[in-house]
Chain A
Amino acid sequence: MIRDYFRVMVVNLGTGKANIVERGGRNEVLGGTGLAARLFQEFGHADRPWNDPDQPMILAIGPLTGYYPLMSKTCCSFKSPYHDQYAESYAGGKSALSLRFADLDALVITGRAERLTALCVGSRRVELKDVEYLRGFDALSTGRALRKMFPGSGRRSILRIGPAAEKLSTYACINVDTYRHFGRLGGGTVMGVKNLKGICILGDRGFPLPEGKAYPKLYKHIFEQLTSTEMMSKYHGVGTAVNISPLNGLKSLPWKNLQQTSSPHAERISGETFADETLLRNAACAGCPVGCIHVGFVREQFQTNNQYLYRQVAYDYEPIFAVGGMLEIIEPGEVLRVLDVIEKEGFDCMSCGVALAWATEALERGDISEDETLLPLKWGDAETYMKAVELLSQQENEFYSLLARGTMRAVARYGGGDYACVLGQEMAGYATGEVFFVSEALGFRHAHLDAGGYSWDQKHEEKDVDAALKFLVEDGRKRIILNCMVGCLFSRGVYTEALLDEALEAVGYTDLATGVDEIAFEVQKLRWRVRISTGYDPRTVKIPKRYSEITTWKGPLDTEYMEALRQGFAQRIMELGAPLPEDAPEK
C-alpha cells in the first residue's frame, strides 16, 4: 500500500492557496464514496446553499486505484445545484490514475475564483491560470486549449465544463478526457459557480510495488478474468447499447417521453445498428483493458461539391435512450449529431434529453406554446432539437431558463407534472417497473446504478415488498463496496467481496482485508446521514403519474405495490440515515 491514511489536497480558489492535509479513517470508510462523504462532513456546509463559495467540490479515489484493472473511476461529490442536497457522480477517463499518480487520495476544491480560472495539480505542482478568455468556449475546444496550456501529455487528465455550466444550468456535467463525464446532478455547475473552467490533474509520480509474489500473481489472475472470460464481453462488444433491443422486447424502453415502453422503430437505434453503421473505434479508461467506450462518427456535407466534415461522438445505452428513444429520433447519425451539441454545451445528456421530451409533450398538449419553446419541437426532428439544446444552454427566455434548472422547475410554472419523467432527477433509461422506479426516485444518486432495481423487475413477477426492499438495501451496499474502491461497476461480477479482500491483502491493507462488507455498511449509513443532513426527506418524494400509466411485459403497472415499496424504502433510508446519538443533541 502507498499509505494507510488519506493524503488530501485542499485548494482554495478564493485565496489561490493549496494545502495538503492528512486524515485517518481508512479502516472506517475505505476511500471513494466513503472518503468523499467524510470530507464533505469536514469541508462542506450542510446548512448553506450549494452556491455558497465555501462549499467544496470533492474528487476521491480508492485504496486499489491504479493497483488493479478496472479500479479506474473517480467519485465526485458536492452539494447539488439540482436539489441543493449532498450528491455524487462517477467518471473514469484518466481521472483516477491521474489522481493516484499525483499522489492524492482526494482533491477538495473550495472558494470561488474572481475570474474564470483553470487549475493544474500534480505531485509537484499547483498552478492557477486566468482563462477568462475561454468564457463561453464549448467543452471540446476548452479541452484542446487546456491541453496546450499544461504539461504532461499521456499522463494527465483534463476535466472541463461548457457554456451550460457557466450559465448555471442545474444539470451541466463535467467532461473528463473528452469521452467520460461526471454527468448527473450538476457537478459541472458547481465548477461553473466557482468560476473554474478546467482542472488538469498531472499523474507524474510512481510508487514502490508491494513486496512478494502475491500481488503480481493476483493482478494476472484478475486481468485474465476481465479480458479472456465472457463476463465482460457485453461491454467491449456491442457495448451497453446492446440493452436497447432486450428492453424493447420487455416493453421496458422509455419511448417518446414514456408515452410508450416499446417501439417498432427501436431496432433502428439498437446497439447492433450503431455498431454496424457508425462505430469508428473503441476506447478505454486508463487502467481498464475492457474498453467499453464506443466512439461513433457522423459525416456531414457542409458545402456542395463534396465538401464533408466528420465528427466523433461517443455513445452508450443511456445517451441513446435519452436522445434517441425519448425524442423518437431513430437514425443513429441524427442521435449522434444531437449528442454532439449536448456534449459541446456541456449538459448531462440524460437530463437534457428527458427535459426536452417533456417540453415536446407539453407543446403537443398545448400546456405551453411556441411562444415558450420558440421552436416547433417535434418527435424525431433532430435539427430542431439541436437548436433547442443551444437555446437551453443560453437560457434564451424564461421557459428555457426554467427548463435548464430541471423539468420540475418548468412544471412549477407551466404545469404538466403528471407526465414529467423525473425520478429525483430526469430519469434513467429503464422502464422496467415498480422496483426500479422507487429505487431511482428515492435512491442516493437517483441513478439506475444505486441498486439493481431494474434487474429485479426483469426477473421477478411476484410482488414481494419485503424481498424487494431487502434486495435494494443489500444490493446498494454491495455497490457501495465498489464505490469505495471506486472500481467500475461493470466489473462487479468479477470483483466479489472475497476477491476484494484478497486484493487489499496483496497490496498490504491487511486491516481492511477482513471484511469490506462491514465497512460498506457503515459507509451506507454515513452517506445517508450526510444526505439527510442537507435536507433530504425520502418520505416526501413523489413518483409522477406517468409512471403509473405504463405497461411492461408484466402488464399494467401496479400502483399499490409501488406505493408500498415507496413507503417501505423511505422508511429504510430514514433508519439507515438516522443521526448518530452523539450528533443529535448538538444539532
Chain B
Amino acid sequence: MKIMRATRMERCIGCHSCSLACSRQVHKVLSWNKAGIRIASSGGLSTGFEARVCLACDPAPCVAACPTGAFSQRKGGGVIQKRNLCIRCGECAKACPVDAIFLDHQVNPYVCIHCGRCIPYCPHDCLEMVEVPERRNGSNKDKEVAS
C-alpha cells in the first residue's frame, strides 16, 4: 500500500494547486478548504508553508472516535470515508492529532484518502506517494506494542 506524503514542503510556494485539485477531483467541489490537503503559512508568509494532511495513522484515532463507521481503517494507514454513514458529529476532526480533517460549516469532514491525484498538480514536486513505512512491530494488526 502507498500513502501520500507532503515530503518536500520546503519547496512549497503556497499556490494551493494541490488543495484545489483534491477538492475538484476527489470531493467534486470548488474550494481550497474542502480538500484532503490544505496549505497554510506556518505563521505568516515569511516562514514558509505547511500542509495539513492526513498522516495515515494505523490505528487511526479518527476511526476510533467515529461512532457510526463512516470512517473505517484503511489498510496501510489512513481512513476509508463513507459519507452516507456520517452523522456530522465532528468527533473525527477533534480526534485527529495533526488537524488534518477539515470540517466545513455544516460539519462535513474532508480528509485525504491517499489517492495521489493532487500530486501532478504540484509544480514544485512537494508531494509524493510512498510505500507504507515499516511499522516497528511488523504487522499492522499486531497491536501489542512493547514501547
**A143 to B, closest residue via Cβ:** B44
Structural contact, A283 and B14, CB atoms closer than 8 A: yes
Q: A143-B44, A153-B41, A289-B123 are in contact. Are A69 and B17 (CB under 8 A)?
A: yes
A 204-221 binary contact with B (CB < 8 Å = 1; else 0) = 111111000000100100
A interface size (C-beta, 8 A): 40
**How big is chain B's contact interface, by range?**
20 to 34
Structural contact, A178 and B44, CB atoms closer than 8 A: yes
User: How near does chain B come to A279, taking the closest CB pair, in angstroms?
Assistant: 13
> Is A450 among interface residues, defined by CB-CB distance under 8 A?
no
> Is A101 among interface residues, defined by CB-CB distance under 8 A?
yes
Q: Tell me the B18-66 residues at the A interface (CB within 8 Å).
A: 20, 23-25, 28-34, 38-41, 43-46, 48, 52
Chain A-chain B contacts (Cβ-Cβ < 8 Å), number: 90
A 288-299 binary contact with B (CB < 8 Å = 1; else 0) = 111101010000
Q: List chain A residues, Cβ under 8 A from B48.
A: 281
User: Which among B14, B104, B123 is the interface contact of A227 at CB below 8 angstroms?
Assistant: B123
Alpha-carbon distance A531/B41, docked complex (angstroms): 39
Structural contact, B24 and A208, CB atoms closer than 8 A: no
Alpha-carbon distance A293/B105, docked complex (angstroms): 33
User: How near does chain B come to A96, taking the closest CB pair, in angstroms?
Assistant: 11
Structural contact, A209 and B30, CB atoms closer than 8 A: yes
Structural contact, B105 and A204, CB atoms closer than 8 A: yes
Q: List chain A residues, Cβ under 8 A from B20.
A: 66, 287
User: How near does chain A come to B21, taking the closest CB pair, in angstroms?
Assistant: 9
> Is B124 among interface residues, defined by CB-CB distance under 8 A?
yes
Q: Is the interface of A mostly helix, strand, loop or mixed?
A: loop
Structural contact, B32 and A203, CB atoms closer than 8 A: yes
Q: A155-B38, A291-B124 are in contact. Are A206 and B15 (CB under 8 A)?
A: no
Structural contact, B28 and A209, CB atoms closer than 8 A: yes
Q: List chain A residues, Cβ under 8 A from B38.
A: 154-155
Alpha-carbon distance A206/B33, docked complex (angstroms): 8
User: Which among A209, A286, A312 is the interface contact of B14 at CB below 8 angstroms?
Assistant: A286
**B51 to A, closest residue via Cβ:** A154
User: Which residue among A67, A179, A205, A293 has the maximum number of chain B CB atoms within 10 Å of its CB?
Assistant: A205
> Is A284 among interface residues, defined by CB-CB distance under 8 A?
yes
The 4 closest A-B pairs by CB, nearest first: A154-B40, A206-B31, A291-B13, A284-B15
Q: Give 17 new A-B contacts, CB below 8 A, not counting A143-B44, A283-B45, A289-B121.
A: A69-B17, A101-B33, A153-B40, A177-B45, A178-B45, A206-B29, A207-B30, A208-B28, A209-B24, A209-B29, A216-B24, A216-B25, A282-B13, A284-B15, A286-B16, A286-B32, A287-B16
Listed A/B pairs (8) with beta-carbon separation below 8 Å: A97-B16, A101-B31, A154-B33, A154-B38, A177-B45, A208-B28, A289-B15, A291-B123
